[in-house]
Amino acid sequence: MYFYTKNGTVFQPENQILQGFYDLLKHYAPYYEGSPFFNDLIDLYETLDFDLKGDNNDESI
């Protein structure tokens, strides 16, 4: 799943640990989209998703 923002598409996390964070962002996107704080939250979410995805790949080696 995914949702759209002015800065691009935000995809559902690959790691279920972030599902609550994703749901919060998706819920509040229509209200806070475009604000610097919300953009920072999306950047944080995407960084965490990328880092946790990397951790999962390292474990399978």
SS3 content of the chain, % helix, strand, coil (to 5): 65, 15, 20
For residue range 2-56, list pLDDT tens digits in order: 999 888 999 999 999 999 999 999 999 999 999 999 999 999 999 999 999 877 6
This prediction has a pTM of: 0.83
Q: What is the dihedral of CA 43, 46, 48, 53, to 10 degrees?
A: -160
pLDDT at 61: 47
Burial class (CB in 10 A: 0-12, 13-18, 19+), 15: middle
Backbone angles phi, psi at 12, to 5 degrees: -60, 145
